[in-house]
């Protein structure tokens, strides 16, 4: 039995968290600039939505391969590759003068994050013992939740006084600093086993995950919506490819994505709760800024300021929730957290242009506090049940489905919003009046929040099955 190696965990985490924070910040920083970009580039809301959906689609296609990449390349190689793509993409975005150029930049940024996110999770599972993972995952929660939630606030300030380009000019130096810190301190923490690349598996996962996300995204566009032949064809082809992909993985000796992770019940419970969180947070965070700007007629900067307290509190609480999870387990955090989220979303489903700004700020704070109680405890508890050889596959599955769920949640939110707005305007006598448009935005937004609340209640029912995982330390140590 080998002695488990001691790692400089602080330095390793610092390098990963700096880069992860900036990368995730850019994922939602453009949400608040959507209205501005529609005007600048003269594009529709459905086209502008691709700046978010395209980012998530790229992640959804890359994530299934991440388990394979974690076994084929060293930690430092993957880190340098992810940062090179992120820095190049951010530079192109900062210089972008049309929608196409910005879209290419977003894909490059997504490629960088698609490598970095699994690397971050896998590294924590390797370098931290089970009884300290909650706190470590809490810091990742700070990155995954606080950074995207801070994006709209900072972006609002930049757009108010400068231009949207500065969202990316601000990010660039931090990515370079993160790269330099990583080059100095990041160690190779995983064993490179060089598994065989199965091209058919890669092709099936790309068509499968890509087809499903593309279909859902397309459903948010145009008058046809879900009856569009392209939508139905994409989803059906995607689902067929996913079935074939699943069958192939089940019968391969060295699968690209090892589906044995689904033999562990707490992993499945944690996964389902995390997916529901992704749908809730992304559907809410893309609609709320649009409602505040178009329904309540607030400026971009005022919108950003209203989202700041909840975002900040979420970031502060994530590591604390991780430590509480280490001490008490998941049940006493996840169930109350989901109850808080459901209550906040019910109140959100009744907001209107005359709702007070203070009331909406309080609701947003409650929503973000609830999410911080749920996400990382559920995810960490699920991953803790896996044996070490399944860590790369467990993180690959959870991150893949998380991004796909996010894209689907965003697409459904936009689809519900546009559908109910059109119904409202169709039934009003003066559909072009500003008051009618604001009311239509309100009606659409209320229905999106109702959808998010239903997802929360389903997740709450699943949460009653969650149990704390007791890790077999002897089994853990014998693998190192």
Q: Is the pLDDT of residue 242 over 60?
A: yes
**Is residue 345 in some structural domain?**
yes
With contact defined as beta carbons under 8 Å apart, do 303 and 289 qualify? yes
Least confident window among 9-13, 107-111, 215-219, 473-477: 473-477
Which residues, at least 6 apart from 198, have a Cβ–Cβ distance to it below 8 Å?
248, 252, 255, 256
With contact defined as beta carbons under 8 Å apart, do 220 and 414 qualify? yes
**Is residue 193 in some structural domain?**
no
pLDDT of residue 478: 41
What CATH number is given to the structural domain containing 295? 1.20.1250.20
Which structural domain, as residue segments, surrounds residue 122? 9-187+256-478
Same domain as 341, residue 234: no
**Is residue 120 in some structural domain?**
yes
Q: Is 119 helix (H, G, I), strand (E, B) or coil?
A: helix
pLDDT of residue 90: 93
Angle at 211 between CA 215 and CA 450, to 5 degrees: 40
Q: Label residue 285 by pLDDT band (50, 70, 90).
A: confident
CB neighbours of residue 200 within 10 Å: 12
What backbone phi and psi angles, to 5 degrees, belong to 43? -125, 160
**Is residue 181 in some structural domain?**
yes
With contact defined as beta carbons under 8 Å apart, do 348 and 290 qualify? no
Which residue has better confidence, 211 or 336? 336
Q: Is the pLDDT of residue 461 over 80?
A: yes
Distance CA 154, CA 89 (A): 19
pLDDT of residue 471: 62
Cα 288 to Cα 314, 349, 363: the distances in Å are: 17, 11, 11
Q: Is the pLDDT of residue 244 over 90?
A: yes
**Backbone torsion region of residue 149, taken as left when φ is above 0, otherwise alpha when ψ lies between -120 and 50, otherwise beta:** alpha
CB neighbours of residue 160 within 10 Å: 13
Most confident range (mean pLDDT) of 66-70, 376-380, 412-416 is: 376-380
Record the tokens describing residue 244, joined without a space: 């074939």
Same domain as 231, residue 112: no
pLDDT of residue 1: 33
Same domain as 423, residue 312: yes
Q: Mean pLDDT over residues 339-367, rounded?
A: 93
Same domain as 429, residue 303: yes
Which helix H or strand E contains 176, and what residues bound it? Answer: helix 166-185
Distance CA 403, CA 117 (A): 11
With contact defined as beta carbons under 8 Å apart, do 423 and 442 qualify? no
With contact defined as beta carbons under 8 Å apart, do 146 and 319 qualify? no
Q: Is the pLDDT of residue 459 over 70?
A: yes
Record the tokens describing residue 263, joined without a space: 């033999």
Distance CA 148, CA 17 (A): 13
Q: Is the pLDDT of residue 173 over 50?
A: yes
**Is residue 146 in some structural domain?**
yes
Q: Mean pLDDT over residues 243-263, rounded?
A: 88
Same domain as 229, residue 142: no
What backbone phi and psi angles, to 5 degrees, belong to 81? -60, -45
Q: Is the pLDDT of residue 194 over 80?
A: no
Residue 256, Cα to own-chain centre: how many angstroms? 22
Choose the final residue of a domain: 208, 233, 255. Answer: 255
Same domain as 97, residue 28: yes
Distance CA 96, CA 88 (A): 12
**Is residue 3 in some structural domain?**
no
Same domain as 228, residue 106: no
Residue at token pair 């009618």: 436
**Is residue 272 in some structural domain?**
yes
Whole-number CA gyration radius for the chain: 22
**Is residue 315 in some structural domain?**
yes
- Average pLDDT over the chain, rounded to an integer: 84
The pTM of this model reads 0.81
Cα 476 to Cα 379, 381, 466, 471: the distances in Å are: 19, 15, 22, 8
pLDDT tens, residue by residue, 56-103: 778 778 888 887 888 888 888 999 999 999 999 999 999 988 899 999
Q: Label residue 145 by pLDDT band (50, 70, 90).
A: low
Q: How many domains does the chain have?
A: 2
Q: Label residue 479 by pLDDT band (50, 70, 90).
A: very low
Choose the final residue of a domain: 213, 240, 255. Answer: 255
Q: Is the pLDDT of residue 457 over 50?
A: yes
Q: Is the pLDDT of residue 200 over 50?
A: yes
Least confident window among 234-238, 384-388, 443-447, 468-472: 468-472
Same domain as 205, residue 82: no
Choose the final residue of a domain: 206, 231, 255. Answer: 255
Same domain as 304, residue 410: yes
Angle at 171 between CA 288 and CA 8, to 5 degrees: 110
Q: Is the pLDDT of residue 221 over 60?
A: no
Q: Is 349 helix (H, G, I), strand (E, B) or coil?
A: coil
With contact defined as beta carbons under 8 Å apart, do 314 and 146 qualify? yes
Which residues, at least 6 apart from 222, have a Cβ–Cβ distance to it below 8 Å?
46, 228
Most confident range (mean pLDDT) of 175-189, 368-382, 410-424 is: 368-382
Same domain as 206, residue 142: no
Compute the Cα dihedral for 175, 302, 41, 28 and give only its sign: positive
Same domain as 18, residue 73: yes
Same domain as 375, residue 341: yes
Percent of the chain with pLDDT over 70: 94
């Amino acid at each position: 039995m080998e002695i488990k190696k001691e790692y400089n965990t602080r330095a390793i985490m610092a390098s990963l968290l700096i880069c992860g924070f900036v990368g995730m910040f850019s994922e939602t920083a453009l949400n608040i600039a959507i209205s501005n970009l529609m005007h600048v580039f003269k594009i529709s809301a459905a086209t502008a939505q691709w700046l978010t959906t395209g980012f998530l689609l790229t992640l959804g296609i890359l994530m299934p391969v991440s388990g394979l990449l974690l076994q084929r390349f060293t930690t430092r190689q993957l880190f340098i590759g992810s940062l090179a793509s992120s820095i190049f993409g951010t530079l192109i975005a900062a210089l972008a003068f049309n929608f196409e150029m910005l879209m290419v930049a977003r894909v490059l940024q997504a490629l960088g994050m698609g490598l970095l996110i699994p690397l971050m999770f896998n590294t924590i599972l390797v370098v931290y013992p089970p009884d300290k993972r909650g706190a470590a995952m809490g810091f990742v929660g700070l990155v995954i939740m606080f950074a995207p939630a801070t994006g709209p606030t900072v972006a609002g300030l930049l757009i108010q006084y400068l231009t949207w380009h500065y969202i990316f000019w601000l990010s660039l130096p931090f990515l370079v600093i993160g790269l330099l810190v990583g080059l100095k301190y990041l160690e190779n923490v995983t064993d490179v086993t060089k598994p065989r690349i199965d091209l058919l598996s890669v092709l099936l996962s790309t068509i499968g995950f890509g087809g499903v996300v593309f279909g859902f995204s397309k459903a948010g566009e145009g008058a046809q919506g879900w009856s569009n032949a392209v939508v139905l064809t994409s989803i059906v082809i995607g689902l067929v490819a996913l079935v074939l992909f699943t069958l192939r993985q089940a019968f391969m000796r060295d699968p690209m994505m090892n589906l044995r992770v689904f033999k562990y019940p707490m992993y499945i419970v944690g996964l389902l709760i995390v997916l529901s969180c992704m749908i809730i947070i992304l559907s809410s965070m893309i609609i709320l800024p649009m409602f505040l700007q178009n329904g309540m007629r607030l400026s971009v900067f005022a919108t950003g300021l209203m989202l700041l307290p909840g975002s900040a509190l979420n970031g502060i609480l994530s590591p604390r929730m991780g430590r509480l999870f280490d001490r008490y387990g998941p049940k006493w955090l996840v169930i109350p957290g989901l109850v808080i989220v459901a209550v906040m979303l019910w109140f959100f489903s009744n907001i209107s242009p005359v709702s007070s700004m203070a009331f909406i700020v309080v609701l947003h704070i409650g929503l973000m506090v609830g999410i911080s109680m749920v996400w990382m405890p559920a995810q960490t508890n699920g991953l803790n049940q896996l044996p070490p050889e399944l860590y790369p596959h467990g993180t690959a599955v959870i991150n893949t489905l998380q991004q796909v769920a996010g894209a689907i949640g965003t697409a459904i939110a936009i689809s519900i919003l546009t559908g109910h707005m059109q119904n409202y305007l169709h039934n009003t006598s003066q559909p072009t009046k500003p008051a009618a448009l604001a009311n239509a935005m309100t009606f659409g937004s209320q229905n999106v929040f109702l959808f998010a609340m239903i997802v929360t209640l389903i997740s709450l029912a699943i949460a009653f099955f969650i149990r704390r995982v007791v890790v077999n330390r002897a089994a853990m140590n014998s693998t190192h």
